[in-house]
Chains A and B, each alone.
Chain A
Amino acid sequence: MHRAGDGDALHLVNVAQAAGGEEFHAPGPADFEFPPLFGEGTFFTKPMLIIVLGTLAIAVLFYLASRRAALVPAKAQFIGESVYGFVRDGIVADSIGREGRKFVPLLTTMFVFIAVMNLAGIIPVLQLPASSKIAIPLFLALISWGVFNYVGIRRHGFIGYFKNMMFPPGLPKPIYLLLAPLELFSTVIIRPITLTLRLTLNMFAGHLVLLLTILGGEYLLIEKGGALAFASIVPFAFSIILTFFEAFVQVLQAYVFVLLSALYIAGALADEH
């Protein structure tokens, strides 16, 4: 695998395929592992390249969108403002309310960052959702976790925050025996894990399915040949349909991640659970 340094996932898999001979190998977790781009010993891999390129692209595009800000927006400005306004008015205003204003930059950045990392999965040449690497959803979930716990503790005090969380008022006393540990467990431990896994595995599975259809079609077309070469049209057609579906899922997952983060913050700020 160390000779593949061109950064193209399909090509990499192709090389692996050729090594495997006639047998068709279904794509697996190994397809998400990449060697360093600049040779042995360096650490910079394809997912990192995607992270860097995506981040730069976001920064540049948003900067261009905001550079000539006018009351009547140009197209770029309108798109940028729409994304920002979507998080600001569509997510934060509805879930947190007026005091959510200060979380808008974080949540907007999160939304755009996740969306772009996801969409890298269907952008030609890149063709890898960087967020299928668990490291990215993990640190984002940790940021979300840190923020909602921090604002909760700052609002209600350390004890008040956990009391609010574990002992919602208006329930019969024995219930708390069961509820308090469950609430603590779900808020403090389950939330970041589900945030991480939901995003990672959606992207992971989506990419796997896309790989399967594309590699399957390729296998039929090249390795089998003959009459089966015509049958390759089916997996290829599926790959195109699934690409559109993936685009939808990728944006949706970014939305879900940010919406849940906003709801967690709103819950931590609320006076009663």
Chain B
Amino acid sequence: MPTLALILVVAEEEEPNPLLPHLSELIVGSIAFALLLGFLSWKVFPVFEKTFSERRDAIEGGMERAKTAEEEAKETLAQYREQLADARHEAARLRETAREQGAAIIVEMREKAQSEAERLTEQAHQQIEADKSQALNQLRTEVGTLATVLAGRIVGESLEDDARQRRVVDRFLSELESRADSGATSAADESPKSRA
């Protein structure tokens, strides 16, 4: 070896050669190292490895827990969403029902109004009818009065036979009618003719 040769040349004769190993040092060093390796491999390194793996487990366990929590949260969220969808559905349903009910109510009200109107009309008709009959009654009383007047006249003349009596009545009536005609419209003209 050139390095060795160089150092051998440079070194003085009594200078020890640093590249020559001492056998005793070799032995002591090897034994010390072997014992150290054995001791550390037996007592120390397994503990470190165990701690490392336990620590990793702890971290992974934490991640596992976090994962579980996340899944739970997701599940809850899904449940909430479902509930929300149900609620929306329910609301839609209620709205629909309300609309239907509203429509039904409108129809009912309309019918009611219709019937009310009919009732009112009926009532009005009846009222008119009543008024009419009342007017007729009134007329009749008047007719009675007039009849009394007529009767006085009849009594004034001699009523020999039926024909004569009829004539008197007719005359009276026509007089009555013409009296009514004088104040009434031309439409009333027909009635005395039809009666005659």
| Residues on A facing B (Cβ under 8 Å) | 28-30, 32-33, 43, 45, 47-48, 51-52, 54-55, 58-59, 62-63, 65-66, 69-71, 73, 77, 80-81, 84-85, 104-106, 108-109, 112-113, 130, 132-136, 138-140, 143, 197, 200, 204
CA distance A180 to B4 in the complex (A): 26
| Residues on B facing A (Cβ under 8 Å) | 3, 11, 14-26, 28-30, 32-33, 35-37, 39-41, 43-45, 47-48, 50-52, 54-55, 58
Q: Which 6 pairs show the lowest CB-CB distances between chains A and B?
A: A135-B25, A135-B21, A66-B47, A55-B32, A135-B26, A105-B41
CA distance A139 to B17 in the complex (A): 18
Contacts of B43 in A (CB 8 A): 63, 66
Indicate if the CB atoms of A62 and B3 lie closer than 8 Å. Answer: no
A65/B44 contact (C-beta < 8 A), A71-B54, A135-B26 known: yes
Question: Per a CB cutoff under 8 Å, which of A48, A104, A113 touches B45?
Answer: A104
Contacts of B32 in A (CB 8 A): 51-52, 54-55
CA distance A97 to B24 in the complex (A): 37
Indicate if the CB atoms of A63 and B44 lie closer than 8 Å. Answer: yes
Indicate if the CB atoms of A200 and B18 lie closer than 8 Å. Answer: yes
Indicate if the CB atoms of A134 and B52 lie closer than 8 Å. Answer: no
Contacts of B47 in A (CB 8 A): 66, 69
Closest B residue to A197 by beta carbon equals B3
Indicate if the CB atoms of B21 and A108 lie closer than 8 Å. Answer: no
Closest B residue to A83 by beta carbon equals B48
**In the complex, what's the smallest C-beta–C-beta distance from B190 to chain A, in angstroms?**
126
Contacts of B23 in A (CB 8 A): 135
**In the complex, what's the smallest C-beta–C-beta distance from A212 to chain B, in angstroms?**
16
A48/B25 contact (C-beta < 8 A), A28-B15, A105-B37, A113-B33 known: yes
A134/B21 contact (C-beta < 8 A), A69-B51, A105-B45, A108-B40 known: yes
CA distance A73 to B29 in the complex (A): 32
Contacts of A66 in B (CB 8 A): 43-44, 47-48
Indicate if the CB atoms of B26 and A55 lie closer than 8 Å. Answer: no
**In the complex, what's the smallest C-beta–C-beta distance from B97 to chain A, in angstroms?**
62
CA distance A59 to B37 in the complex (A): 9
Give 23 A-B contacts (CB < 8 Å), ordered by A residue. A29-B11, A29-B18, A48-B25, A51-B32, A52-B28, A54-B32, A55-B32, A58-B36, A63-B44, A70-B51, A81-B48, A81-B52, A84-B44, A84-B48, A105-B40, A106-B37, A132-B18, A134-B19, A135-B25, A138-B21, A139-B30, A143-B33, A197-B19
Given A55-B35, A81-B51, A104-B45, 5 extra CB contacts under 8 A: A29-B18, A77-B51, A108-B40, A109-B40, A134-B20
CA distance A73 to B166 in the complex (A): 146
Contacts of B50 in A (CB 8 A): 69
Question: Per a CB cutoff under 8 Å, which of B18, B33, B44 touches A62?
Answer: B44
A33/B16 contact (C-beta < 8 A), A55-B36, A71-B55 known: yes
